[in-house]
Each structure stands twice: as C-alpha cells, then as structure tokens.
Amino acid sequence: MASCAQVESLVQAYVDGELSAAEKAILEEHISECRMCTAALKRQRSTAALLFETLGEHRLNHDLTPMVMAHLPEMDPNHVRTSHDVTLRIKQQSDYRYLLRALAPAMALTVLLVLGMMLALSWPPEGPADMRAVGMVTHQEGKILRSHESSTDRRHVALKAIVRENERFETDGDAALMITLAGPTLMKADKNTRLKVINEREVSVEIGQIWLNVCKDQRSFRVTTPSGDITVFGTVFNVEVTPDSTVVTVETGNVQVSNNVAFTQLEPGEQTQLIVEKKPLEKSQVDAHDLMAWADTIQPDPDAQKYFAETIKPQTVKVLRAEQVFVVDTSDHTVHSITFEWEPRPIIGNHCGYNIYVSDDQMTPLFKGHIPGNVFLDMERNEYELVVPEGVPIENKSVLHISVVPDTTTRAIETPFTEVAALSL
C-alpha cells in the first residue's frame, strides 16, 4: 500500500478532480484504511470549499465577448522585420569585416524604418470593398459606358455619377471623360479608352490614353497597363496604351516606370516606352505640354466639381506600406544572383508577391525582378534566388541597393525577409 506521505501529495489534485485513474485508485485504496489521511482529505476539501464559496461571489458572471467585439480596435499594420541581419555572402570567402561594412548602412535604415513604423498609426481597413465610392464623373461628352466587375450590366455614364471601386469605363470614338478621384486626383480619359478605377490610388488601363494630375499623398498612385506599371506620389503625367506598348510622358514631378524586367525614373519633359521584356528603358526628351494638349480640351463641370467636394471625402491615410530596403556590399565581386530568405509562416491564403528593384551606389537603376506570391505558400521553402539578367552592367558595383516592395494594394499577407545576400560565382 502507498505511504501516507505519497497519498498526501495526491490529495489536492484529488479534490480538484485532476488525478489519473491509476492515482485515484491508489488514493482511494489508502483512504479506505487510513483514518489520518481521511481526515486530511476532509480538511483539504473544506478549505477548497471555503475558497470557492468566498471568491466565487466575485466570479465573472457574464460573457465579456459582446462588449469586447463591439469595440474592436484596428490591428497594428504587419510589423516589418528589416534587415538586422543583412549579410554579404560571397561564396569563396567569408570575412567579418564585410559583414560589419554591410551592416552599418543597414542599421541606419533600420532605425529610420523603426521610426517610420512608430509614426504609423494604421493601415486603412478593408471595407465591404467593392462598393466604396472613390470618385465622381466631372466631365462627360459622347458615348461612355460603365460597368462593375460584380455584374454584366453596362450603363451610360452621366455627369455627377458616383464612381465606385473596381468600376470599368469605356469611351467611344468621339467621347471624353473626366473623373475626379478622392484626394482630389484628376483623371482625363481620351477617346477609345478602356480603363478600370481600382480605387482612388490605382487605375488600370487596357487601351487608350489618360492624363493624370495626382494629388500628393503618403500612398503611392499606380497605373497598371499590359506593358508595364507607373508609380507616382504627386505629379502630372500622360499614359498612352497600345496593345504592345505603353508610352509615359511626365509634365511635372517624378514618375517611376517599370515593365517586368526593368525600371527607371522619369523627370519633367522625359518620356519612355514600356514594352514587355524590353530593357534597358530608354528615355527621351519631349515637349510634354504639346503632347498633352488633348487633355486641355477636357475641363471639369463646375457644378459637378462642387458636388464632388461635398460628397466624396478623401480617406485619411497615415502610412505607406513599408518597403524593405537592403544594402549589400559586394566588395567588387561580380554578383551573379541575389537570394532572399524568410521564415515560412503556416498561413494559407493570399500572400502578396514582391517587386525587387536593384540599384547601384549612385541609385542608378540596374534591374527589376519579381518574387511571385505563391512561393510563400510552400512551407518547405524559405529562399528565393533572383538571377541577375544577362546584359545588366553589374560589374564593378561595390554596393547594391535592393528595395523590396509588396506588389499589391490589397490586404494580402506580407512576408518579412530575414536575410538578403548577393552571391558571386
């Protein structure tokens, strides 16, 4: 039979109903024959009863869930762990001095990013997305059709019509359209243009020509076209889309343009042509004002403009989705590829992909790459190797600046990169 000391150590768990069947049998067998332990058990029970009874009056006696759920705050934007461990990994040699040299600029950037994150209040919530009002038709002439992606209905566009997210517009041979987007950002569409207003900061153009005067905001404004994308913050520019190319002309401000393999920055009076697979992107000087004369003929209706100001309020947005910046010291080795590492997170869902912009120490664009979102779905995978495309002048570059930008404006799941390294053969 078990000793009294052994049994005494089981008493509390017995009272609490937490003994295994075997332990319970041992205790009960002992108790049936030992008066001392029976008394100890009784005392322990009555102490527990006293505690339950007295404290029980203060027990939580209703469900807190409705109250908590009714006032749920915004979740913090996904924190970005930026390159605290940016390293250089040249395969033939490893020397800690390289590591330190690589780390210094990265630390400075990390500090800046942390400060940025502290300023960050929240990322705008995703509403019942597709019906949000984002703009208004402020000029309309000729035949223009509109449709929403959620239905096959096509209707004629009227002046002062409210424009919702994900709405398509199509102008015919002698039509002109102007949409004022929350901000306000002015957008004019030429004849024979098909476009889609994704939201107040993103437009996609299938074909035709648009002119934009983008209101400055902390968020970037994007125009996507079949041949390449345009990213700006606040500027006036023109985009002409044909089936195989997109011509971008800038009147004021800076515009970043990219196709699937290259990117460049345009300044006022500059123009470039985006063609899929074409690199590098050549710039030419043009008379921007002349080229945009067509847009001058389209002016907003004063009444519509006033109505717009009263009804469409800009969303206040405090923060940009963080861009991760990595700086790699190549020590003049010719880089063959760049690897990106992350910690796989078991989240099934909509991972966003990343656009990778690589520049040299003068911030001269070298090339652009892309990590597709689906690689993050594979839990076995934690690395992506981006091979430097042929023809990129990568020799004799002592430092590479690598910017990693999420490639979507939807609330897709982001992946923080833990290490970015340059490899040379």
Partner 1 sequence: MHQGKDAELVFRCLEGDAEAFGELVQRYQSAVYATAYYYAGRYGAAEDIAQDAFWMAYRSLPHLKDQEKFGAWLKEITTRTAANWLRRNAPRLRHETPLPHRRTVSIEDARQEPKGALERSERYERIQAAIEALPERYRLPVVLRYLQEMNYDEISRFTGESRDEIRGILLRAGRLLRESLAELDVQMEEDAQWHRAHK
Question: Which residues lie below 8 Å from residue 248, measured CB to CB, with a gap of 6+?
Answer: 230, 237, 238, 239, 255, 257, 266, 271, 272, 273, 274
Binding residues for partner 1 restricted to 106-165, rule: CB under 8 A? 126
Binding residues for partner 1 restricted to 210-239, rule: CB under 8 A? none
State how far the Cα of 402 lies from the Cα of 356, in Å rounded to an integer.
7
Comparing CB distances to partner 1, the nearer of 57 and 153 is: 57
Q: Does 78 bind partner 1 (CB under 8 A)?
A: yes
Residue 110 near residue 83 (C-beta atoms within 8 A): yes
Among 33, 57, 153, 390, binds partner 1 (CB under 8 A): 57
Question: Which residues lie below 8 Å from residue 167, measured CB to CB, with a gap of 6+?
Answer: 146, 147, 148, 149, 196, 197
Burial of residue 147 (CB within 10 Å: 0-12, 13-18, 19+) is middle
Long-range contacts of 304-308 (CB under 8 A, 24+ apart): 304/136, 304/137, 304/138, 304/139, 304/159, 304/160, 304/180, 305/138, 305/180, 307/136, 307/160, 308/135, 308/136, 308/138, 308/160, 308/180, 308/184
Residue 376 near residue 415 (C-beta atoms within 8 A): yes
Comparing CB distances to partner 1, the nearer of 58 and 313 is: 58
State how far the Cα of 420 lies from the Cα of 336, in Å rounded to an integer.
14
Q: Taking the complex as a whole, how short is the minimal distance between the CB of residue 371 and partner 1, in angstroms? A: 21
> For partner 1, what does the binding mask look like between residues 320 and 349, x meaning CB under 8 A?
--------------------------xx-x
> For partner 1, what does the binding mask look like between residues 389 and 418, x meaning CB under 8 A?
----------------------x-x-----
Among 68, 118, 119, 293, binds partner 1 (CB under 8 A): 68
Q: Does 374 bind partner 1 (CB under 8 A)?
A: no
Comparing CB distances to partner 1, the nearer of 42 and 154 is: 42
Q: Does 55 bind partner 1 (CB under 8 A)?
A: yes
Q: Does 79 bind partner 1 (CB under 8 A)?
A: yes
> For partner 1, what does the binding mask look like between residues 14 and 43, x meaning CB under 8 A?
-xxxx------------------------x
Among 4, 38, 39, 56, binds partner 1 (CB under 8 A): 56
CB neighbours (10 Å) of residue 45?
Answer: 13
- Closest to 231 measured CA to CA, from 102, 368, 100: 368
Comparing CB distances to partner 1, the nearer of 23 and 361 is: 23
Site stretch for partner 1 (CB under 8 A), options 7-15, 180-188, 196-204, 209-217: 7-15
Among 21, 33, 54, 362, binds partner 1 (CB under 8 A): 54
State how far the Cα of 403 lies from the Cα of 356, in Å rounded to an integer.
6
Q: Taking the complex as a whole, how short is the minimal distance between the CB of residue 36 and partner 1, in angstroms? A: 14
State how far the Cα of 133 lies from the Cα of 123, in Å rounded to an integer.
18
Q: Does 243 bind partner 1 (CB under 8 A)?
A: no
Give contact residues for partner 1 (rule: CB under 8 A): 9, 11-13, 15-18, 43-44, 46-48, 50-52, 54-60, 63-65, 67-69, 71-79, 126, 346-347, 349, 411, 413
